Amino acid sequence: MKKILVALFSILVINANAQKIEEGTSLVGGSVSFQTTKGNNSVVINPNYGYFIADNFAIGANLNLSFRKEGDTKTNQFGLGPFARYYIGESTTKPFIVTEFSYQNRSIKLPEMSKTKTNGFDFLIGMGFAAFINDMVAVEGVTGYNYSKFKNVDGASGFTMRFGFQIYLGRDNYRNPLK
């Protein structure tokens, strides 16, 4: 973790000559992850949409779709909730601070048993980076502390890391078709 923080700080200092992300810009993107081991498979899709309500500060909504199969147990999860991001500096690689909260609905199907459904929440606080490929597209990574709690189940917490991309609509001379 210490190395990640040093690397992000170094990138911020080195790339101090690019533009800020202006108020009125929209961001659309997300992340996808796959995992396959013998008898276990999972796919997680996390699309999002955000809007910059001030320079370098975006709020928006995340969608979480998770499909897992571990042996004969199948778990599907759907979540929806808000996020906030604050981008630091005006570099081409922009570190940011992020917080996310989502309401989750989980369905578990165990062998020879009926389907079990439960509700809960998921919370993340962390930091990330957006490495701009051009004025509109960035590859990004997010890392942080994650806590999940479902009804009648002990809470679970830990370190999370994910990678994805974002498209920034409305930057510079590009006209945002959503406005």
What pLDDT shows up at residue 40?
A: 86
Task: Identify whether 130 is part of a domain.
Answer: yes
Q: How many domains does the chain have?
A: 1
Whole-prediction pTM: 0.79
At 4, is the secondary structure helix, strand, or coil? helix
What pLDDT shows up at residue 4?
A: 53
Task: Identify whether 175 is part of a domain.
Answer: no
More confident residue, 152 or 25: 25
Question: What's the CA gap between 6 and 14, in Å, rounded?
Answer: 12
What pLDDT shows up at residue 17?
A: 38
Q: Look at strands 73-87 and 115-132 and give their pairing.
A: unpaired
Task: Identify whether 134 is part of a domain.
Answer: yes
CATH number of the domain enclosing 120:
2.40.160.20
**Buried b vs exposed e over 132-151: b needs ≥16 C-beta within 10 Å?**
beeebebebbbbbebebebe
Task: Identify whether 142 is part of a domain.
Answer: yes
pLDDT band at 12 (very low <50, low <70, confident <90, very high): very low
Q: What percent of the chain has pLDDT over 70?
A: 85
Domain that holds residue 128: 2-169
pLDDT band at 77 (very low <50, low <70, confident <90, very high): very high
Task: Identify whether 179 is part of a domain.
Answer: no
At 91, is the secondary structure helix, strand, or coil? coil
Burial class (CB in 10 A: 0-12, 13-18, 19+), 21: buried
